[in-house]
Structure 1
Amino acid sequence: MLLALAAFTVAAVLIVLLPGPDTLVTIRSIVRGGRSSGTATAGGILVGLTIWICVAALGLAAVLRASEVAYAVLRIVGACYLVWLGVQSLRAMRRGAPAVDDGARRGLLGTGFAAGLTTNLLNPKVGVFFVTFLPGFVPSGYPVGATSLLFGADFLVLSVIYYVVLLALASKVTAWMAAPRVRRRMDALTGTVLVGFGIRLAVES
């Protein structure tokens, strides 16, 4: 078990460090609303991960994997949401919006906890990841459900450490990000990548 857990931890570290929609949405929230908004977004992502881990451990995520219709619907909805977030960033770039985001008054899912939770839950690959990747490390003879929860908790702890470090560094770059020219470039980069992630999620099988 210890060897399996160690192997999973090494693989999980590499996966957590690989930038994806969750990281980009967190950075976007930091740029638009500062550390407090980024913290809320990271909290939403971690809650989403917790839900996916519990669902996978219960075996319900296997239904998502087996049902092409369910997977396709969730994939398209998630893709549309990522594209919408990207377009919002590109529009903010053109407007030259202030560093402190008033997105709560313009839309509930733009930044903060809701953005993190929605981005994570609307990405079916997160659920499929826990169904296909995590069980491969469960040692023979051990209960799949309980062991999956243990490995999922390990993945969650690594994710918490990652976001704590990301948010800690945010204070050092907030002033740099607040510069209008830099903020516009960040909005352009984040928006373009989010739209790219959305299109890729929509067209991939």
Structure 2
Amino acid sequence: MPLTDWFSLLAICLMGAMFPGASLAVVLRNTINHSRLHGIVTGVSHALGIGLYALLSVLGLVLLLQQSPLLVKAISYAGAVYLLWLGYQGLMAKAHTGRHAAIQTHQATLLDAARDGLLIALLNPKVGLFFLALFSQFVQEGMSLTAKTMFVSTIAIVDGAWYVLVAAVLSQGKWLEWLRQHQVWVERILGVILILLALRIFLA
């Protein structure tokens, strides 16, 4: 892959990763409610899901999404239901203090965080269509194994690096102190955002 093409790919990856949406909301939620590590694990598992879409893209399998509107709808609705469930949890958040707060903070396991990140990525067929629309220019017939590897790894690494950075920045110093002080309202706001994103999928 020529260096100029790689820089173009990198720029598109950065814009896609930084665009606010359900993925960012879930990473924020797990970072604030549980720990920096929970947020990082969410981000890394999300990157694995995005990397899988990138792999399917170079294998030509993402075309199946474009040709199967019913499959897209089914996956979209499954993702919307999952967002509704996460949003409901946020709306039901209650203030906790003292020892109970510490217990609440560690209720979710790292496996739960990994599940959240992976499902948010995989249950969003628009990610696959995004690859089809924007990344098709980089996927060419007869691509070498090196070029395919660069394509997939760049997309996954950029996505993971962005969300790991978000989790790392928000989990230290004054940021974390402020977020923890307003944790209930932050979680409820994130819950509303997730529910609105889910409703948008149902109404689309």
Using the size of structure 2 for normalisation, the TM-score is: 0.85
**SS state of the match for residue 135, structure 1?**
coil
**SS state of the match for residue 156, structure 2?**
helix
Post-superposition, which runs of at least 4 consecutive aligned residues in structure 1 deviate over 6 A?
A: none
Question: 1:145: Cα distance to partner?
Answer: 8.0
Aligned counterparts of 1:71 and 1:28: Cα–Cα separation in 2: 27
Aligned counterparts of 1:35 and 1:133: Cα–Cα separation in 2: 32
Unmatched tracts of structure 1, length 5 or more = none
| Matched residue, 1:102 | 107
Question: 1:149: Cα distance to partner?
Answer: 4.4
Higher relative contact order (CA 8 A, sep 6+): 2
Question: 1:184: Cα distance to partner?
Answer: 1.6
Question: 1:165: Cα distance to partner?
Answer: 1.7
The alpha-carbon distance between structure 1 residues 146 and 23, as it changes in their structure 2 partners (threshold 3 A), is same
Aligned counterparts of 2:132 and 2:149: Cα–Cα separation in 1: 12
**SS state of the match for residue 60, structure 1?**
coil
Question: 1:124: Cα distance to partner?
Answer: 0.8
| Matched residue, 2:59 | 58
Aligned counterparts of 1:78 and 1:65: Cα–Cα separation in 2: 18
| Matched residue, 1:176 | 178
| Matched residue, 2:18 | 17
Per-residue CA deviation, residues 163-205 of structure 1 (Å, 9 max, x unaligned), is 23212212222222222xx11220121011111111112222x
| Matched residue, 1:49 | 50
Aligned counterparts of 2:43 and 2:61: Cα–Cα separation in 1: 25
Aligned counterparts of 2:165 and 2:196: Cα–Cα separation in 1: 26
**SS state of the match for residue 136, structure 1?**
coil
Aligned counterparts of 2:80 and 2:126: Cα–Cα separation in 1: 11
| Matched residue, 1:33 | 34
